[in-house]
């Protein structure tokens, strides 16, 4: 079996059998498309003739192209998955990709907003209605209140909500369901938005909560555009991404004493180590606040 044939069979498998998200499938397709066209591989090469050294050269080639460590590690993960599939289905006698090591990923401190920044951004749609004020305020409040991923907010349906709008069931990564919660400001903003939506469109036959100005479901790209508009030059002039709401939610919860395992559950992290990176940020923030507040903190001028 050639590399190209193995990839095509594997992609059919992950699209039709395994419950992977469309984004994961697309990323895997792109990575493996790149893999088969590398100088050391080639689409016509027999996959059982690919050696570990060939795979290492592929990683080296990506490094020369100055790809990020995250991008390279995703590529390695896709190649490992391909070889694991081929070994399990008898296309390989030995899985050489098992010995392919990932590259070191430098730890990045997630970008989060201060309380003042969140308040300013959430109030923008009221004081500076650039697009659709009630919808946009509701969107920001719900993202901050729940810690949802932007894809989860885009997918959220009215039927997912409890009758009092206090919580909802969202489907996260790996098709795992979890409950998220909405505090008073978010519930109030949601109630006002849904009332406004009904005035605009009547009994709209669209199950998703957030819609565009034509009444169709709002996409992830659409949400990113809205946030860019309000945090860009026409708004706060302090650009943030949709994921910044999630980072801010996690940091605020931990800073205010929430248990890390509770935050893990609310964020839908499969590993607690992913959640624990926020404890590092919270600790740094507490030290900064301590130094500013304490009489001998050294920052009194």
Q: What is the pLDDT of residues 43-64, one digit of tens each?
A: 999 999 999 999 999 999 999 9
pLDDT at 301 over 80: no
Report the pLDDT value the prediction gives residue 21, as an integer from 0 to 100: 77
Gyration radius (Cα) of the chain, Å: 23
pLDDT at 87 over 90: yes
Candidates 137, 142, 133; CA nearest to 120 is 137
**One domain for residues 154 and 95:** no
In the chain, what percentage of residues exceed pLDDT 70? Answer: 90
Which residues form the domain of 32? 3-99
pLDDT at 279 over 80: no
Return the bridge partners of 2, or none: 46
**One domain for residues 50 and 88:** yes
**One domain for residues 161 and 211:** yes
What value does the mean pLDDT take over residues 161-185?
93
pLDDT band at 280 (very low <50, low <70, confident <90, very high): low
**One domain for residues 68 and 173:** no
| Maximum CA extent, the chain | 72
CB atoms within 10 A of CB 60: 12
Catalytic residue positions? 149, 173, 243, 246, 269, 278
**One domain for residues 87 and 143:** no
Summary mean pLDDT of the chain? 89
In this structure, is residue 29 part of a structural domain? yes
Work out how many domains the chain is built from and give that number.
2
Report the pLDDT value the prediction gives residue 17, as an integer from 0 to 100: 83
In this structure, is residue 297 part of a structural domain? no
**One domain for residues 210 and 127:** yes
Report the pLDDT value the prediction gives residue 259, as an integer from 0 to 100: 87
pLDDT at 80 over 90: yes
Q: Which long-range contacts (CB under 8 A, 24 or more apart) does 136-139 make?
A: 136/226, 136/230, 137/189, 137/192, 137/193, 138/186, 138/189, 138/190, 138/192, 138/193, 138/210, 139/210, 139/223, 139/226
Contact status, residue 48 vs residue 93, Cβ threshold 8 Å = yes
**One domain for residues 235 and 181:** yes
**One domain for residues 129 and 194:** yes
In this structure, is residue 239 part of a structural domain? yes
Residue with tokens 């991923």: 149
What CATH number is given to the structural domain containing 152? 1.10.443.10
pLDDT band at 273 (very low <50, low <70, confident <90, very high): confident
pLDDT at 298 over 70: no
In this structure, is residue 301 part of a structural domain? no
Percentages helix, strand, coil for the chain (3-state, rounded to 5) are 60, 5, 35
At 131-151, the pLDDT tens digits run 999 999 999 999 999 999 999
pLDDT band at 107 (very low <50, low <70, confident <90, very high): low
**One domain for residues 177 and 214:** yes
- DSSP letters spanning 150-162: HHHHHH-BGGGB-
In this structure, is residue 110 part of a structural domain? no
């Amino acid at each position: 079996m050639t590399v190209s044939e193995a990839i095509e069979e594997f992609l059919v498998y992950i699209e039709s059998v395994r419950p992977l998200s469309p984004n994961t499938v697309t990323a895997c397709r792109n990575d493996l498309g790149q893999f088969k066209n590398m100088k050391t591989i080639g689409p016509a090469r027999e996959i059982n003739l690919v050696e570990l050294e060939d795979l290492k050269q592929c990683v080296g080639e990506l490094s020369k192209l100055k790809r990020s460590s995250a991008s390279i590690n995703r590529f390695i993960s896709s190649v490992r998955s391909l070889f694991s599939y081929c070994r399990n289905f008898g296309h390989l006698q030995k899985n050489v990709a098992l010995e392919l090591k990932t590259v070191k990923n430098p730890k990045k401190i997630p970008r989060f907003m201060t309380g003042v920044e969140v308040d300013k951004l959430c109030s923008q749609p009221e004081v500076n209605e650039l697009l659709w004020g009630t919808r946009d305020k509701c969107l920001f409040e719900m993202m901050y209140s729940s810690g949802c991923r932007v894809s989860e907010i885009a997918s959220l349906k009215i039927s997912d909500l409890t009758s009092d709008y206090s919580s909802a069931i969202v489907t996260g990564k790996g098709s795992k369901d979890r409950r998220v919660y909405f505090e008073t400001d978010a519930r109030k903003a949601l109630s006002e938005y849904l009332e406004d939506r009904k005035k605009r469109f009547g009994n709209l036959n669209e199950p998703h909560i957030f819609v565009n100005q034509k009444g169709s479901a709002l996409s992830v790209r659409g949400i990113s555009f809205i946030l860019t508009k309000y945090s860009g030059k026409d708004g706060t002039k302090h650009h943030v991404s949709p994921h910044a709401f999630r980072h801010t939610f996690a940091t605020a919860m931990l800073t205010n004493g929430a248990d890390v395992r509770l935050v893990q559950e609310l964020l839908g992290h499969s590993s607690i180590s992913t959640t624990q990176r926020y404890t590092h940020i919270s600790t740094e923030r507490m030290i900064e606040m301590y130094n500013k507040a304490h009489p001998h903190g050294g920052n009194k001028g």
